[in-house]
Copies of this chain bind each other. A is one copy, B any other.
């Protein structure tokens, strides 16, 4: 085990390996080599071995990795062997979908509080039975229910304030769906899932048939032209 700083790219891949191991375990496979796993994800086998080696020597030379053993190690590394207590702030379409979507969370994430500012929603319950509370109660309830992860699904303009409030209540991990760049305090981690960026990336790909490998030259038709007010 090393004390080196571990890249988030590595921990993201651990999530992928974990999912693979879950499947293997479910189908009764007992060992897996880095090479075999790499093939499933078009990854390099050395990368998998290196990712794992940051956390220990989990493999057996000449054999590979014991599926269940490695699975347990990764669960522990990712903090998934204890339950995270999650709140969702903003029960619009997306927030509601996440509140009702059990598939994602498996057994490590428990949605224990829901907040919205709309009086029409307050007091109603989602399918799991959790009641939507007024966002006025945000700070106290977050503390009281010992929430450690907050999902922000409010409009962009409200997101920064929600972040400030939950930070004040001691939350250090936030999953943000608002399409805005947030400014967390030191020690607070924000992951933003930005669907606009994903869609626009696809749009770029379609607009640029050579974008996936061949070179492009845009300069001829995109050069700055002070005469046109931008329309190019």
Contacts and interface: CB of A to CB of B under 8 A. Distances in A.
Interface of A: 1-6, 8-9, 11-16, 18-19, 40-41, 54-60, 66, 68-73, 76-80, 82, 84, 92-94, 96-98, 100-101, 103-106, 108-109, 148-149, 155, 172-176, 179, 181-182, 184, 186-208, 211-227, 229-232
Nearest to A70: B230
B205 A73 contact: no
Given A59-B224, A78-B203, A189-B214, 4 more contacts: A3-B215, A78-B204, A84-B206, A174-B202
A202 B80 CA distance: 10
A215 B186 contact: yes
Given A55-B222, A175-B198, A207-B79, A216 B149 contact: no
Residue with the greatest number of chain B CB neighbours at <10 A, chosen from A5, A13, A219: A219
Contacts of A219: 1-2, 8, 55-57
Contact of A218 (B68, B77, B175): B77
A4 B215 CA distance: 5
Given A12-B197, A212-B189, A215-B5, A73 B227 contact: no
A5 B212 CA distance: 8
Contacts of A98: 93-94, 195
